[in-house]
Amino acid sequence: MPDPQRIVIRIKKGTDGRNSLSCTRADGTTTWQRQQGGQAAFFPKHDLTHYAVETTLGFREGFYGLVSAGWDFSDFGSPWPRGKLPPEASISEMIVGFFDLERRIAERVAADDLNQKLAEYCAENRLPPQRQLSEDDLARVRAKRAELFAKWDAVEPGNALEVVFDLSGRPESAEDPVASSRLVAPPGS
């Protein structure tokens, strides 16, 4: 029986500057989107940051958890056909935004600063308080994200990077799930 909490995330680096992101669920269904221009430059690393945050911190209802549960990319925006994001997905997006900012300013921010912003965000949006993140939590996210970014940067145009998102509690291998990531060449190459 397919594992509903497992998806294969595939980010393809186009030869024309465009990228595409697809997620194939255990039942064989897929959701995908194409990115171009500024989106093609920003979203692959943003999406890999989601992976690093959600797998490291154990988010089951973050972006990829919702995708594995059947959400399509078009469900994440107006008119919000599936309704409001669950609290964990909102928190995940806030934390990913924090890491996106850190990447943009090229300066690490302290866990205390993130925890303060997170507490303010939760209060403003009437979300339940979240556990305090430690410097170790942030270091583990940064390490996973750096590994993924290096793999993405190594992808040649026309090829793709695949990673497995699996929160079923069963490790993909004896190693971290990122170890199961692989570069994928187009057919016939």
Integer CA distances (angstroms), 111 to 42, 77, 115, 117, 132, in order: 24, 29, 6, 10, 8
Predicted TM-score of the model (pTM): 0.87
Whether residue 1 is contained in a domain is answered as no
Please answer whether residues 17 and 40 qualify as being in contact, where contact means their C-beta atoms are separated by less than 8 angstroms: yes
Residue 104 counted as domain residue: yes
Whether 189 is in a domain gets the answer: no
The tens digit of pLDDT for each residue in 25-60 reads 999 999 999 998 888 888 999 999 999 999 999 999
How many domains does the chain fold into? 1
Give the span between the Cα atoms of 148 and 34, in whole angstroms.
20
- Residue 14 in domain: yes
Evaluate whether residue 84 is within a structural domain. Answer: yes
Pairing relationship of beta strands 6-13 and 19-25 according to DSSP bridges: antiparallel
Q: Which domain holds residue 17?
A: 6-184
Q: What is the pLDDT of residue 184?
A: 61
Residue 15 pLDDT > 50: yes
Domain membership flag for residue 29? yes
